Amino acid sequence: MPITGGYTINHGDRYAGMVVDSEVNNSVSKLNKSGAVVPWGLFVARDGDDGFAPVDDTTTAPDVIGVLRRELNRAQLDGATSGAPADRDASVLTAGVIYVQTLDAVSAGDDVYAVVGTAVNPAATAGVANNAVGADATLGVKIDGARFKETTTGAGLAAVSLVIGG
C-alpha cells in the first residue's frame, strides 16, 4: 500500500518514553491491566505479579515499577493516544535515562515525584513527573533512586535518571 499522507525522516529530538542515550538501561515486560491506553513516558505502578496500571491516589513508593518505555512496534491511529494498549504487554524502564512528561519546571539534580492526581492535579496528569518545588510533594510519590538530569523552564519533557527495583 502506498503512503498517501505525509512521511518524514525529520523527527523531534525527544518523545515521552524515549530512552535518552546509550547508557546501560533495563526494562521489564508487563501487561497493561488498566483497561485503557496508557501514554508513553508516565510512571506506572505494579498490578499483580505480571501487570502495571497508572499511578493513582493509593500508590505508594514501593508500588512504582518504572516509566512506560516508548515502543515503535505497534501502529497508532492518527489522533489516538500514543501509548501501551489495554490488555497488551509493554516495556517498563526500571533503570536508565528516559524522557518523562513533567508538570512544571524542574532543575537538574531535583528529586523526582510521580504525580498521583488530585483536585489540584487532575487524574489526567497522574503518572507525570514533578519535583517538590513545582508542586506540593504531598501530591506525588517520591521515587527513590530517580533524579532529573536537566533543567526546564516549564511543563514538557525532561530527562530522568532512575534505578528502581522493577
Dump pLDDT digits (tens) for 22-75: 788 899 999 999 999 999 999 999 999 999 998 888 888 999 999 999 987 766
Residue scoring higher pLDDT (136 or 89): 89
Q: How confident is the model at residue 13 (pLDDT cuts 50, 70, 90)?
A: confident
Q: Can you tell me the distance from the alpha carbon of 116 to that of 59, in angstroms, rounded to the nearest whole number?
A: 7
Q: Is residue 125 part of a domain?
A: yes
Q: Can you tell me the distance from the alpha carbon of 153 to that of 105, in angstroms, rounded to the nearest whole number?
A: 5
Q: Is residue 3 part of a domain?
A: no
Q: What CATH number is given to the structural domain containing 33?
A: 2.40.300
**What integer pLDDT is reported at residue 121 of this predicted model?**
59
**What are the pLDDT digits (tens) for 75-111?**
666 776 788 999 999 999 999 999 999 988 999 999 9
Rounded mean pLDDT, 106-131: 80
Instruction: List the domain range (segments joined by +) for residue 44.
Output: 18-163
Q: Is residue 63 part of a domain?
A: yes
Q: Is residue 13 part of a domain?
A: no
**Whether residue 119 has pLDDT greater than 60:** no
Lowest mean pLDDT among 17-21, 30-34, 111-115: 17-21
**Could you tell me the three cell numbers for 8?**
518524514
Instruction: Identify the DSSP state of 19.
Output: B
**What integer pLDDT is reported at residue 58 of this predicted model?**
86
Q: Is residue 122 part of a domain?
A: yes
Q: Is residue 11 part of a domain?
A: no
**Whether residue 123 has pLDDT greater than 70:** no
Q: Is residue 10 part of a domain?
A: no
**Could you tell me the three cell numbers for 101?**
512528561
Residue scoring higher pLDDT (1 or 91): 91
Q: Is residue 91 part of a domain?
A: yes
**Count of structural domains within the chain:** 1
Pairing of strands 129-130, 111-115: antiparallel
pTM listed for this prediction = 0.85
